[in-house]
Amino acid sequence: MHSLWLSLRQILSHGVVTLLAIAVAFSLPQAASYILNQWWPRVEGDANLLLATELGLASVGTTGRKW
């Protein structure tokens, strides 16, 4: 009985991860459109916002790394 429960739990967790991956994949075109049409024109004209964006992306990109 324990192995059956473990198998069902693994199947369910794989299903949840698959659904999340599908949701991310379908949201990417909308996110890209927003960045291109809404965010970038604002960032392009504001040096402080551009710097803040670059710093934010750099901090996210290096979080958790051991140098």
Q: What percent of the chain has pLDDT over 70?
A: 90
- CB-hemisphere CA count at 13 Å for 40? 7
Tell me the one-letter amino acid at 60: V
pLDDT at 65 over 70: no
Instruction: At 14, list the tokens.
Output: 């794989």
pLDDT at 48 over 70: yes
Helices (H), the chain: 2-34, 40-44, 47-62
The dihedrals phi and psi of 40, each to the nearest 5 degrees, come to -60, -40
The model's pTM is 0.47
